[in-house]
Amino acid sequence: EAQVTQNPRYLITVTGKKLTVTCSQNMNHEYMSWYRQDPGLGLRQIYYSMNVEVTDKGDVPEGYKVSRKEKRNFPLILESPSPNQTSLYFCASSFGPWSPQHFGDGTRLSIL
């Protein structure tokens, strides 16, 4: 089954404790992206990747890192999480930014 898998789905953690949210897709998509969704602000892009080893900043990259060592995986890293990064995060993939995107189920992060 074609899917985008995010883990974990839910996480409660504390300020400053490094965390990684994994994202994996099995559709051989080249384009992958991370978004955060906050009430009243809609979806905002954090980082995107056009292909392996190619990553670019989105609208709100501060406090986040990503890597794209393999086509299927695009982890989101919070080196020193802060409470303002409490949000609902979505990973998405597609053949290209001009193609319909497939979204993961979302990861709800709470940073205390």
Considering the complex, what minimum distance in angstroms separates the CB of residue 80 from another protein? 26
- Count Cα neighbours of 35 within 13 Å in the Cβ-side half-sphere: 18
Considering the complex, what minimum distance in angstroms separates the CB of residue 68 from another protein? 15
Adjacent-strand bridge partners of 34: 47, 91
Interacting positions 10-69 with another protein (CB under 8 A): 33, 40-45, 48, 50, 56, 58-59
Task: Write out the residues near another protein by the rule CB under 8 A.
Answer: 33, 40-45, 48, 50, 56, 58-59, 88, 90, 92, 96-103, 105-106
